[in-house]
């Protein structure tokens, strides 16, 4: 027997129906029952589609109304007391006016964000299998072969901050209950996801894995257990899992894998990349499957990880470059690839000869395409000299020059770039013709400037009203990137992004937002900061080429952005912010791979920013991640001002940067509708001032304001400016 299966599916629905319904629910226009019904409809439609595309065993429980880690916290009863009011689920996710939400952070090295479990010695775990059982029953009622997917206990505890593995023995009985409930509901197999096992794990942690799965495997009333790993190879965790009494293992076979014979265990081989969009190299996957088939009695075929990290359906993209289209596969296409591979494995390569030939031709075309072979791009990257990677003047001298040129007050206030993206702007984008839309944007920029001047902010921005999507917008003027119309991928909660596809060699074909930045400068009474997304984030938030090293792609992108930075300086923009919110998420999961990544990442940033005069101030911005392990790299970017979020991680970062650089500290958590009071901001800033000298501290929100409403932003920025002024008066 060989089955095709997957670990998970995009949640939003073909038209992002889920997003709209949840946001409607928050506004009070969609009832809890209606939201639940829509979820059930979306799940049923997804499963039917998976089946039609050739999937044998569908996952259940992978659906979520916000986040699967939050769902797990609910499943094990880890709901902190302060949320136990009317709607604990969304209160934990988003906070309320009275309580802050759970901390949000990146899911391994992806751009998905999960809500960090809040666990401690006082946590009492209780089982609530309701969601899992309900979704399994829905699939079984449709007559499907279904496998519930749960986040495994070890990874769940390790995702808490700080890790809470010492609670394992209290958590395991709760998992046992959930497993029994699923068994009673008809589950034959249950998958426990343990992606944390592809990271370096200590002997004590590996011992915990051993203990956990001896316990769960030893239960009598349980379904068959499958432990899934993804985003890398298991390494020293493989022998541990091979030895415990579980019934199957799912592994990521897209990079290296470490499979030894697995007697009596089911092996699910993730040969189709679940997190990138390239059509599978079928012959190579088939060879991998054939060799794995020798090591196990039962081999099933899968994607490397959940398909929630890729867009839903390539067929929805009617406007794609016809040359690039055959190079690609989105979620639905990947399921079809699994079905082809299954045929090839069971019936032999001859059975899929036509598919293999087309696939080979397709790969050859991609290799030889003018899109991937631009001579002027390769000669420019080849000509990069060490001097192109460093600013000519050291930081201390630049700092003095910039102070003289900018004459800013102590604790200068600014924002990170975007202002609210209102429905009205979205409608204008969809409905107006170009001249009318441009006029609308110009008016918006005028209003945003006036607003900032009235509030008393010190450094202004144009507000990015023209930017519908962080990275996609920037990718459009860059040749080599392909953008999609419907390629939505969940970032967190109801936020979805359309990552561009880095398909070919990159150069800047037209200016990026130079026009609007210049427009703002000409209409502002205070210094205007230019805004760009940095090369590393562009890479990490795009589907990146798999036919050349990422470092090479990064250099191409950096040179394209450098052209824009130079143009902005020439037109008289005194401050240029190059955002790198995605730098941390590209950090390899294994320690051994990190130094190389950090080196090319910092180099790409410097290649982008180092061509400016000493008086031009380079800012960078990063948000929502644990920065503690990349502090040296943050300093190596050699930016003049580094702005980081602090509201959610409570200043943990401020004392790590040693006061040698100016720091913009995010004192307004823009991911929550909650508005901080002046007193709260003052208190945060006072804590910061204990480690950061007053002449190096900037006061900012945590991130761009695009997801917030105007009333929230008005109040929050008023408080922010008031707090800065109050402290300034005391200094
Ligand atoms: N300049 C961007 C904005 O304000 C930064 C976004 C980000 O860092 N995530 O929206
Ligand atoms: Zn940000």
CA distances from 436 to 164, 477, 523 (A): 55, 21, 19
Q: What secondary structure does DSSP assign to 293-346, as a single string?
A: HTTEEEEEEEESS-GGGS-S-GGG-TTS-TTTGGGB--HHHHHHHHHHHHHHHH
Ligand 2 centroid to residue 565 C-alpha, Å: 19
* Strand 662-666 to 641-645 pairing: parallel
Nearest to 719 by CA among 668, 673, 644, 647: 668
The whole-angstrom separation of Cα 482 and Cα 503 is 6
Global pTM exceeds 0.95: no
Q: What residues flank ligand 1, with Cβ below 6 Å?
A: 416-418, 464, 470, 531, 579, 581, 621, 623, 703-704, 706
Number of H helices, E strands in the chain: 24, 20
Q: Where are the domains of the chain?
A: 47-75+106-368, 408-730
43: burial class by Cβ within 10 Å (0-12, 13-18, 19+)? buried
* ipTM (interface pTM): 0.98
- pLDDT at position 375: 97
Which DSSP symbol is given to 592?
G
Q: With bands split at pLDDT 50, 70 and 90, how would you rate the model's confidence at 647?
A: low
From 104, 113, 418, the mutation candidate for ligand 1 (largest count of ligand atoms within 8 A of CB) is: 418
703 known member of a binding site: yes
Q: What is the pLDDT of residue 163?
A: 87
Given ligand 1 and candidates 541, 622, 704, which is best to mutate, with the most ligand atoms within 8 Å of its CB? 704
Fold exhibited by the domain 408-730: TIM Barrel (3.20.20)
Which DSSP state fits 584?
A: G
Q: Sorting pLDDT into bands at 50, 70 and 90, what band is 585?
A: confident
Examine domains 47-75+106-368 and 408-730 and report if their fold is the same. yes
Report whether 418 belongs to an annotated binding site.
Answer: yes
For residue 428, how many C-alpha atoms fall within 13 Å in the half-sphere facing its CB?
20
* Mean pLDDT to the nearest integer, 253-271: 88
Residues 576 and 518: their CA atoms lie apart, in Å, by 12
Q: Which ligand is nearest to the CA of 418?
A: 1
Helices (H), 142-202: 153-159, 168-184
Quote the CA–CA distance of 378 and 380 in Å, as a whole number.
Answer: 5
Task: For residue 486, indicate whether it is catalytic.
Answer: no
Q: How far is the CA of 302 from the centre of ligand 2 (A)?
A: 34
pLDDT of the residue at 256: 73
What DSSP character marks residue 105? Answer: E
Q: Which of 575, 581, 533 is nearest to 557 (CA)?
A: 533
Site to probe by mutation for ligand 1, drawn from 419, 621, 707 as the one with most ligand atoms within 8 Å of Cβ, is: 621
- For range 382-407, the mean pLDDT: 96
Burial grade of 374 (CB within 10 A; 0-12, 13-18, 19 or more): middle
State residue 650's pLDDT score.
Answer: 47
Res. 78 pLDDT band, cuts 50 70 90: very high
Q: Is 645 annotated as a binding residue?
A: yes
Q: Please indicate if the annotation marks 19 as binding a ligand.
A: yes
**Helical spans, DSSP H, in 53-87:** 68-75
Helix %, strand %, coil % of the chain (to 5): 45, 15, 40
pLDDT the model gives residue 584: 86
- What is the greatest pairwise CA distance in the chain? 80
Domain 47-75+106-368 falls under CATH 3.30.450.20: no
Mean pLDDT, residues 247-255 taken together: 94
Position in ligand 1 atom list of the atom nearest CA 621: 8
Least confident window among 41-50, 120-129, 254-263, 604-613: 254-263
How far does residue 644's CA lie from ligand 2's centre (Å)?
Answer: 8
The per-residue DSSP string of 445-476 comes to HHHHHHHHHHHT-SBB----TT-SSHHHHHHT
């Amino acid at each position: 027997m060989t089955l095709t299966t997957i670990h998970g599916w995009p949640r939003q629905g073909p038209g992002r129906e889920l997003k709209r319904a949840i946001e409607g629910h928050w506004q009070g226009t969609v009832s809890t029952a209606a939201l639940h019904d829509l979820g059930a409809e979306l799940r049923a439609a997804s499963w039917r589609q998976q089946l039609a595309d050739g999937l044998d065993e569908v996952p259940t429980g992978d659906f979520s109304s916000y986040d699967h880690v939050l769902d797990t916290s609910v499943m094990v009863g880890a709901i902190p007391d302060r949320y136990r009011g009317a709607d604990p689920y969304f209160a934990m996710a988003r906070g309320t006016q009275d309580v802050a939400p759970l901390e949000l952070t990146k899911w391994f090295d992806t751009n998905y964000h999960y809500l960090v479990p809040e666990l401690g010695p006082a946590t009492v775990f209780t089982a609530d299998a309701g969601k899992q059982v309900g979704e399994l029953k829905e699939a079984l009622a449709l007559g499907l072969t279904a496998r519930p997917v749960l986040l495994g206990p070890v990874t769940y505890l390790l995702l808490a901050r700080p890790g809470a593995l010492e609670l394992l023995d209290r958590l395991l009985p709760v998992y046992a209950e959930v497993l029994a409930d699923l068994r009673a509901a008809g589950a034959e197999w249950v998958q426990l996801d343990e992606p944390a096992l592809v990271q370096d794990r200590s002997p004590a942690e590996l011992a915990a894995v051993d203990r956990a799965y001896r316990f769960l495997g030893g239960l009598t009333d349980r379904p068959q257990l499958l432990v899934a790993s993804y985003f890398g190879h298991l390494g020293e965790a493989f022998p541990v899992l091979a030895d415990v009494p579980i019934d199957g293992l799912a592994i990521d076979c897209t990079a290296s894998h470490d499979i030894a014979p697995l007697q009596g265990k089911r092996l699910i081989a993730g040969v189709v990349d679940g997190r990138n969009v390239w059509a599978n190299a079928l012959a190579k996957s088939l060879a991998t499957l054939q060799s794995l088939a020798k090591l196990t009695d039962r081999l099933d075929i899968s994607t490397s990880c959940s398909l929630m990290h890729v867009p839903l359906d390539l067929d929805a993209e009617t406007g794609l470059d016809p040359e690039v289209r055959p190079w690609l596969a989105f979620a639905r296409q990947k399921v079809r690839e699994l079905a082809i591979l299954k045929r090839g494995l069971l019936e032999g390569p001859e059975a899929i000869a036509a598919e293999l030939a087309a696939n080979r031709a397709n790969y050859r075309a991609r290799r030889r395409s003018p899109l991937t072979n631009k001579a002027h791009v390769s000669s420019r990257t080849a000509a990069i000299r060490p001097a192109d990677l460093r600013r000519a003047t050291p930081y201390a001298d630049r700092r003095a020059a910039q102070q003289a040129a900018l004459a800013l007050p102590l604790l200068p206030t600014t924002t990170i770039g975007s202002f609210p993206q209102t429905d009205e702007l979205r409608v204008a984008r969809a409905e107006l013709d170009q001249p009318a839309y441009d006029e609308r944007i110009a008016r918006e920029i005028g209003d945003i400037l006036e607003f900032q001047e009235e509030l008393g902010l010190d450094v202004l921005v144009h507000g990015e009203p023209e930017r519908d999507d962080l990275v996609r917008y920037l990718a459009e003027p860059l040749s080599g990137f392909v953008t999609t119309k419907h390629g939505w991928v969940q970032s967190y909660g109801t936020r979805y992004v359309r990552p561009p596809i880095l398909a070919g060699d990159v150069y800047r074909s037209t200016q990026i937002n130079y026009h609007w930045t210049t427009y703002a400068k000409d209409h502002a009474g205070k210094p205007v900061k230019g805004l760009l997304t940095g090369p590393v984030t562009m890479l990490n938030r795009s589907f990146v080429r798999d036919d050349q090293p990422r470092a090479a792609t990064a250099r191409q992108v950096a040179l394209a952005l450098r052209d824009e930075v130079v143009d902005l300086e020439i037109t008289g923009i005194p401050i240029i912010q190059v955002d790198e919110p995605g730098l941390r998420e590209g950090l390899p999961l294994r320690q051994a791979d990190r130094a190389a990544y950090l080196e090319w990442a910092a180099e790409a940033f410097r290649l982008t920013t180092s061509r400016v005069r000493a008086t031009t101030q380079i800012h960078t911005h990063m948000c929502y991640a644990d920065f503690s392990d990349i502090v040296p790299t943050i300093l190596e970017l050699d930016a003049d001002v580094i702005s980081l979020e602090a509201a959610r991680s409570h200043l943990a970062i401020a004392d790590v940067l040693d006061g040698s650089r100016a720091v913009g500290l995010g004192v307004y958590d823009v991911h929550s509708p909650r508005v901080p009071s002046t007193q709260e901001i003052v208190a945060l800033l006072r804590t910061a001032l204990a480690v950061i000298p007053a002449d190096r501290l900037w006061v900012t929100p945590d991130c761009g304001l695009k997801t917030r409403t105007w009333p929230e932003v008005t109040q929050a920025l008023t408080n922010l400016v008031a707090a800065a002024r109050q402290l300034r008066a005391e200094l």
